[in-house]
């Protein structure tokens, strides 16, 4: 199956063509990502109206490039997958409407994809990972532990009770004057720091569930940011923040792995989402997996942050299962991954 994927839920306009064999081996034929970082940098975060307008300007050219790089005409496609939520609804509507137009014009099935499901399958873009697996999804807007059995078949085990990990990175980085997006900038600065002198709060220690909390850390670190005088102070704080986030992700994942191991034969732990690009976090999680006797996998770096290859792949896997959408599928600002009713209903309405 060959599927065109479109992603416009936040601040990247992306299109990709992915081929999926019947036994689940994915090949990325093209993956074009136009980041809007420059459009939003002056505002210190994503401005929804600017994002939606930029998607309108970019979507056609980005899609054409994806088709050209794949070396295919539209007649070679088996389906069109577009992110239908969750995200900034103005942007989601641009990609989804464009996908509907291509589907109608070329008489192709439309697959409305949950952006989080895209992140959930993204590790399969690197190698043919077998289902099921335990997933830590850490992105700009989400921080969840999920049992993943396949597309349309996931159970959430825990989630953040306040902020997402990426949000914590971004807000603390902003308070430190590092600009937007904050995660990569904070990671770079942390390399020159030693966070040992900062004592940051540890949330939910010893709790027997798989939830997360980052707001206490965010508040404490933002206050400390105001006291930093030298570049070294800032680097030290960045290191302390990164370690604190990594530690919580590790502690909560450890809890989930132990629960999961009691009920499952499979021993695979996967991390995905933008924060999975962080090397300290990757190595912390890999160590937690190893201690619990699990294999560990993260997507190739390029597929951690938002991209359309993950949307094309989720679409192709859905198409294989016969889960196609109605042409009037709605854009959804909120859309929980394990909302079984929505996922079981091919119309997604
Ligand atoms: P969601 O997927 O929840 O809707 P999103 O699509 O905006 O949100 P992603 O694109 O998956 O999120 O990830 C972006 C987030 O990842 C941002 O918060 C960014 O700061 C963070 N991030 C990216 N690279 C790194 C890094 N190297 N270290 C830490 N955080 C990072
Ligand atoms: Mg982004
Ligand atoms: Fe995302």
Judge whether residue 349 has pLDDT over 70.
no
In whole angstroms, what is the distance from residue 315 CA to residue 118 CA?
A: 8
> Separation of 115 CA from ligand 3 center, angstroms?
7
Mutate-to-test residue for ligand 1 from 37, 159, 166, 241, highest number of ligand atoms within 8 A of CB: 166
Q: Phi/psi at 120 (nearest 5 deg)?
A: -65, -35
pLDDT in tens, 285-304: 999 999 999 999 999 999 99
When pLDDT is cut at 50, 70 and 90, the band that residue 204 belongs to is confident
Judge whether residue 76 has pLDDT over 70.
yes
- Residues 143-170, mean pLDDT to the nearest whole number: 96
> Separation of 8 CA from ligand 3 center, angstroms?
10
When pLDDT is cut at 50, 70 and 90, the band that residue 43 belongs to is confident
> Separation of 140 CA from ligand 1 center, angstroms?
4
- Residues 257-264, mean pLDDT to the nearest whole number: 95
> Separation of 11 CA from ligand 3 center, angstroms?
10
Cβ atoms of residues 186 and 242 within 8 Å: yes
Mutate-to-test residue for ligand 1 from 137, 139, 142, highest number of ligand atoms within 8 A of CB: 139
Check pocket membership of 169 for ligand 1, CB cut-off 6 A: yes
Please tell me the predicted confidence (pLDDT) of residue 123. Answer: 97
- Residues 108-129, mean pLDDT to the nearest whole number: 97
Check pocket membership of 115 for ligand 1, CB cut-off 6 A: yes
- Judge if ipTM > 0.85: yes
Is residue 18 annotated as involved in ligand binding?
no
| Cα 289–Cα 296–Cα 274 angle in degrees, nearest 5 | 105
As a whole-number percent, the residues of the chain with pLDDT over 90 amount to 91
- Residues 164-172, mean pLDDT to the nearest whole number: 96
| Cα 136–Cα 264–Cα 203 angle in degrees, nearest 5 | 35
- Residues 295-317, mean pLDDT to the nearest whole number: 98
Query: Which residues share a beta bridge with 133?
Result: 148
In whole angstroms, what is the distance from residue 329 CA to residue 52 CA?
A: 19
Q: Going by CA atoms, what residue is nearest to atom 23 of ligand 1?
A: 274
As a whole-number percent, the residues of the chain with pLDDT over 70 amount to 97
Pick the ligand that lies closest to the CA of residue 170. 1
Is residue 328 annotated as involved in ligand binding?
no
Judge whether residue 248 has pLDDT over 70.
yes
Q: How many residues does the chain have?
A: 349
Helix axes 89-106, 48-70, angle to 10 degrees: 30
Is residue 31 annotated as involved in ligand binding?
no
Judge whether residue 256 has pLDDT over 60.
yes
Please tell me the predicted confidence (pLDDT) of residue 45. Answer: 86
Check pocket membership of 166 for ligand 1, CB cut-off 6 A: yes
- Residues 56-81, mean pLDDT to the nearest whole number: 98
When pLDDT is cut at 50, 70 and 90, the band that residue 155 belongs to is very high
In whole angstroms, what is the distance from residue 97 CA to residue 110 CA?
A: 11
Q: Greater confidence, 7 or 38? A: 7
Question: For all residues of the chain together, what is the average pLDDT?
Answer: 95
Please tell me the predicted confidence (pLDDT) of residue 340. Answer: 62
Is residue 239 annotated as involved in ligand binding?
no
- Residues 219-245, mean pLDDT to the nearest whole number: 97
Judge whether residue 205 has pLDDT over 90.
no
Judge whether residue 339 has pLDDT over 80.
no
Q: What is the 3-state secondary structure (H, E, C) of the chain?
A: CEEEEEECCCCEEEEEEEEECCCCCEEEEEEEEEECHHHHHHHCCCCHHHHHHHHHHHHHHHHHHHHHHHCCCHHHCCEEEEEEECCCHHHHHHHHHHHHHHHHHHCCCEEEEEHHHHHHHHHHHCCCCCCCEEEEEECCCCEEEEEEEECCEEEEEEEECCCCHHHHHHHHHHHCCCCCCHHHHHHHHHCCCCHHHCCCCCCCCCCCCCCECCHHHHHHHHHHHCCCCCHHHHHHHHHHHHHHHHHHHHHHHHHHHHHHHHHCCCCEEEEECHHHHCHHHHHHHHHHHHHCCCEEECCCHHHCCCCCHHHHHHHHHHHHCCCCECCCCCCCCCCCCCCHHHHHCCCCC
- Residues 8-28, mean pLDDT to the nearest whole number: 97
What is the pTM assigned to this prediction? 0.96
When pLDDT is cut at 50, 70 and 90, the band that residue 41 belongs to is confident
- Taking alpha carbons only, the member of 298, 209, 213 closest to residue 248 is 213
Check pocket membership of 179 for ligand 1, CB cut-off 6 A: no
Mutate-to-test residue for ligand 1 from 275, 277, 279, 310, highest number of ligand atoms within 8 A of CB: 275
Is residue 150 annotated as involved in ligand binding?
no
Please tell me the predicted confidence (pLDDT) of residue 342. Answer: 46
Please tell me the predicted confidence (pLDDT) of residue 44. Answer: 83
Judge whether residue 346 has pLDDT over 80.
no
Please tell me the predicted confidence (pLDDT) of residue 185. Answer: 96
Q: Going by CA atoms, what residue is nearest to atom 7 of ligand 1?
A: 140
- Taking alpha carbons only, the member of 94, 7, 105 closest to residue 306 is 7
Cβ atoms of residues 16 and 30 within 8 Å: yes
């Amino acid at each position: 199956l060959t599927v065109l994927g479109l992603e416009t839920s936040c601040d990247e306009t992306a299109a990709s063509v992915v081929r999926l064999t019947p036994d689940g081996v994915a090949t990325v034929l093209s993956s074009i990502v136009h980041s809007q970082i420059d459009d939003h940098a002056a505002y210190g975060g994503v401005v929804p109206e600017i994002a939606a307008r930029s998607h309108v300007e970019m979507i056609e050219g980005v899609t054409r490039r994806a088709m050209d790089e794949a070396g295919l005409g539209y007649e070679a496609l088996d389906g069109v997958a577009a992110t239908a939520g969750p995200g900034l609804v103005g942007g989601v509507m641009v990609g989804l409407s464009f996908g509907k137009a291509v589907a109608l014009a070329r008489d192709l099935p439309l697959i409305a994809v949950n952006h989080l499901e895209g992140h959930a399958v993204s590790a399969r873009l690197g190698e043919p990972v077998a289902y099921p697996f335990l997933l830590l999804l850490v992105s700009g807007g989400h921080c969840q532990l999920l049992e993943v059995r396949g597309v349309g078949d996931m159970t959430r085990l825990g989630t953040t009770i306040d902020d997402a990990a990426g949000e914590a990175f971004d807000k603390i980085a902003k308070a430190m004057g590092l600009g937007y997006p904050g995660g990569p900038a904070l990671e770079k600065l942390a390399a020159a720091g030693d966070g040992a002198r900062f004592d940051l709060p540890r949330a939910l220690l010893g709790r027997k569930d798989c939830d997360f909390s980052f707001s206490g850390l965010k508040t404490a670190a933002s206050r400390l940011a105001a006291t930093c005088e030298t570049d070294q102070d800032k680097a030290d704080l960045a290191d302390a923040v990164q370690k604190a986030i990594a530690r919580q992700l590790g502690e909560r994942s450890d809890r989930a792995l132990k629960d999961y191991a009691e009920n499952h034969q499979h021993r695979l732990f996967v991390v995905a989402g933008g924060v999975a690009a962080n090397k300290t976090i990757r190595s912390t999680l890999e160590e937690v997996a190893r201690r619990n006797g699990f294999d560990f996998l993260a997507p190739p770096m390029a597929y951690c942050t938002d991209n359309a290859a993950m949307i094309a792949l989720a679409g192709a896997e859905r198409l294989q299962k016969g889960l196609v959408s109605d042409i009037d599928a709605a854009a959804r600002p909120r859309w929980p991954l394990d909302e079984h009713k929505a996922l079981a209903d091919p119309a997604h309405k």
